[in-house]
């Protein structure tokens, strides 16, 4: 490629087709004897969640198409399958029924075709039953959540085990099957605010008797309870301000590995796992300053030994005698399923999310940056410079355009692990700033809570100050700065475009534009989320209106492209369409792409491709470059 090619126009092998057709998402991981099971999200199959199994003789498919192991509990799902003795139990996305799949057989439903949904499936082998979280929509209005049990062999009645709280999660059984523990929390808390841990003996009918709370509650979030082989109950708690490991022993609660690190995660989905038992040892993952590590803990001596691994994003930790399993990604490698020998530290990749082998010269490495933001506080981000080894000389006298990314949640985090959706931009000549604004996870509870009451303010300030930090370093073109985000990140992007003039364009993926509408219309799991992020509604109605871009379109004068799923129940299409209509009325350049077959987050390959390419086309028209790719145009109204 000749030197001096304009930023944005570089030809890259990291195409939208490659991203959607050559990669899959690795999900839940489970062990059953010597077999390893995992779920796999496949954009090329319409977003179907398959289940695969690894045995010494190879890898095979377990779940026949068109079945898809995906639950809609809390709308975000997770924990959609369980396995015991080679029998797979799963929630099928299309009807939300629980099915039993025996080896060599066909899926058989265990629950009725009604308005109940099930997640966090747990096999109670001794009683031949399944335990699950149930979200019951049969009565209309707000659904009722509970902990339930059902026969594991045939269809029958569903028995309620625990109720009376707004939410339940993470049921686990003691080694002898006689004790049951679980998490519960209530509005207005989210699970990362105040999840409580309960434990109870089971009576002769398998029902919990006199449950007692042993940890968690107000201002303490408990994550992933699990009984160890010693019969003690282990869990993660942020009682010190950091999610650390604990166990409940005879003389009380014991801290196992106290440190300023996060051994827990925000429970947006079910089925998360950051630790597991290998005999008496605890294999655990933790995050420090936005990057993951894996180690093995002796709970008696409190010695924590970290492994020297290249993975910076680790999840789904499982273990058995002498071995651990996890999903891991590095700064230059997409997620893989890994087997780790605990004594030698030797790793084996069991399965890859892609067969791609990209040239390192196309990959931009993240630079972790910390910078001063508003009120003298500090914020975090990952910076990626443009990189493409086919470009001999970058344009003289020109600086690259910058794309600022905002993760969703907002209680979530950006990762330094390789993302093709970041490299799509950097390999074409964009710089990228992936912001872990105040409110992100991975930096302790205090940092997480700095967004409370300030959503739409503190997060936006961090994007503004991060961008100015790069401009001051001479790394990016201040006249070609765009900002984008999805869901909560879309709200941050829209606020930045509305209330600041630094950003010249933006993209909103199913982003929030009206906080009042979100507070009134969203689903149960997030129905009171805004009480902390913004303030109680309707008591703080004026603050909701003040923060909502829809009420300040007079200040929005930057071009925006919107992407929306017609079936989105988290951020309904009306939110996007009212803002699009307002921009049309103002004759501000605007584009709107609606996908009829998508909900909150796009899963179908054709739609993911269309959105990515349409966003590139949008910026090319605004920033004055011609993409190397042949991209179908997207209509941009009012563009002169």
Exposure string of 469-490, with b = 16+ CB inside 10 Å and e = fewer, is: bbbeeebbbeebbbbbbbbbbb
CA distance 572 to 569: 5
Question: Rounded to whole angstroms, how far apart are CA atoms 71 and 59?
Answer: 24
pLDDT at 244: 98
Residue 466 has φ and ψ, to the nearest 5°, of -65, -40
Residue 397 is predicted with a pLDDT of 85
Which residues have CB under 8 Å from 85's CB, separation 6+? 32, 125
Looking at residue 396, what is its pLDDT? 82
- Sign of the C-alpha dihedral computed for residues 68, 74, 76 and 77 taken in this order: negative
- Overall pTM > 0.85: yes
For 320, phi and psi rounded to 5 degrees?
-150, -170
Q: What are phi and psi of 50, to 5 degrees?
A: -85, 165
- The conformation of residue 408, written as its DSSP 8-state character, comes to S
Q: What is the largest CA-CA distance in the chain?
A: 78
User: Which CATH architecture does the domain made up of 358-623 adopt?
Assistant: 3-Layer(aba) Sandwich (3.40)
Q: Are 565 and 558 in contact (CB under 8 A)?
A: no
Q: Indicate if 358-623 has the same CATH topology as 29-279.
A: no
Fold of 29-279: Methylamine Dehydrogenase; Chain H (2.130.10)
The kind and range of the H/E element at 532 are: helix 530-533
Separation of alpha carbons 309 and 282, rounded Å: 17
**Euclidean distance between CA atoms 599 and 597, whole angstroms:** 7
Per-block average pLDDT, block size 10, for the chain (640 residues)?
76 93 92 97 92 95 97 96 98 98 97 97 98 97 97 96 98 97 98 98 97 96 97 98 96 96 98 97 95 96 97 97 97 96 97 91 97 97 96 86 96 95 97 98 97 98 98 98 96 98 98 93 93 97 97 94 93 91 95 94 92 98 95 95
Domain segments of the chain as ranges: 29-279, 280-357, 358-623
Q: Write the DSSP symbol of residue 424.
A: H
């Amino acid at each position: 490629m000749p030197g001096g090619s304009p930023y944005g126009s570089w030809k890259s092998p990291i195409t939208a087709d490659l991203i959607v057709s050559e990669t899959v998402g690795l999900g839940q991981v489970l062990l059953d004897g010597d077999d390893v099971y995992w779920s796999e999200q496949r954009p090329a199959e319409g977003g179907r969640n398959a289940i695969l199994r690894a045995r010494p003789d190879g890898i095979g498919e377990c779940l026949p198409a068109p079945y898809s192991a995906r639950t809609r509990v809390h709308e975000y799902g997770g924990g959609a399958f369980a396995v015991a003795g080679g029998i797979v139990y799963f929630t099928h996305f299309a009807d939300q029924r629980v099915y039993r799949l025996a080896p060599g057989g066909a899926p058989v439903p265990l629950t009725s075709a009604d308005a109940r949904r099930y997640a966090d499936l747990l096999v109670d082998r001794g009683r031949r039953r399944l335990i699950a979280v149930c979200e019951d929509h049969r009565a209309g209005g707000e659904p009722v959540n509970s902990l339930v049990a059902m026969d594991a062999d045939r269809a029958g009645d569903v028995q309620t085990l625990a109720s009376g709280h707004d939410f339940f999660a993470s049921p686990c059984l003691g080694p002898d099957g006689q004790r049951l523990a679980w998490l519960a929390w209530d509005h207005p808390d989210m699970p990362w605010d105040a999840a409580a841990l309960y434990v109870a003996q089971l009576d002769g009918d398998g029902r919990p008797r006199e449950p007692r709370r042993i940890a968690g509650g107000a201002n303490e979030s408990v994550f992933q309870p699990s009984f160890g082989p010693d019969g003690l109950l282990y869990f993660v708690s942020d009682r010190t301000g950091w999610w650390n490991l604990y166990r409940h022993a005879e003389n009380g609660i014991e801290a196992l590995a106290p440190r300023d690190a996060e051994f827990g995660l925000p429970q947006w989905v079910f089925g998360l796992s950051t630790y597991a038992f290998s005999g008496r040892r605890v294999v655990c993952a933790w995050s420090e300053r936005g990057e993951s590590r894996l180690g093995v803990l002796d709970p008696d001596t409190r010695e924590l030994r970290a492994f020297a691994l290249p993975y910076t994003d680790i999840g789904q930790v499982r273990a058995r005698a002498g071995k651990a399993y996890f999903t891991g990604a590095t700064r230059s490698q997409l997620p893989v399923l890994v087997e780790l020998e605990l004594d030698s530290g030797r790793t084996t990749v069991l399965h890859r999310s892609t067969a791609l082998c990209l040239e390192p010269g196309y990959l931009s490495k993240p630079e972790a940056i910390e910078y001063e933001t508003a009120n003298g506080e500090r914020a975090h981000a990952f910076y990626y410079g443009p990189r493409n080894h086919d470009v001999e000389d970058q344009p003289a006298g020109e600086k690259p355009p910058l794309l600022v990314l905002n993760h969703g949640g907002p209680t979530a985090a950006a990762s330094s692990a390789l993302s093709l959706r970041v490299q799509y931009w950097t390999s074409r000549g964009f710089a990228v700033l992936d912001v872990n604004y105040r409110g992100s996870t991975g930096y302790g509870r205090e940092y997480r809570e700095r967004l409370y009451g300030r959503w739409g303010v503190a997060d936006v300030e961090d994007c503004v100050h991060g961008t100015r930090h790069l401009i001051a370093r001479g790394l990016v073109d201040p006249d070609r700065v765009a900002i984008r985000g999805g869901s909560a990140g879309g709200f941050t992007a829209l606020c930045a475009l509305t209330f600041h003039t630094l950003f010249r364009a933006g993209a909103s993926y199913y982003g929030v534009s009206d906080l009042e509408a979100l507070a009134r219309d969203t689903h149960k799991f997030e129905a009171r989320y805004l009480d902390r992020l913004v303030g109680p509604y309707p008591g703080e109605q004026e603050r909701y209106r003040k923060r909502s871009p829809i009420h300040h379109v007079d200040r929005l004068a930057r071009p925006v492209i919107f992407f929306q799923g017609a079936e989105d129940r988290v951020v309904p299409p009306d939110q996007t369409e009212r803002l699009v209509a307002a921009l049309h009325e103002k004759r501000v350049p605007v584009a709107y792409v609606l996908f009829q077959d998508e909900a909150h987050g796009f899963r179908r390959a054709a739609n993911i491709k269309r959105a990515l390419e349409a966003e590139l086309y949008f910026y090319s028209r605004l920033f004055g470059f011609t993409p190397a790719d042949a991209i179908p145009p997207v209509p941009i109204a009012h563009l002169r």
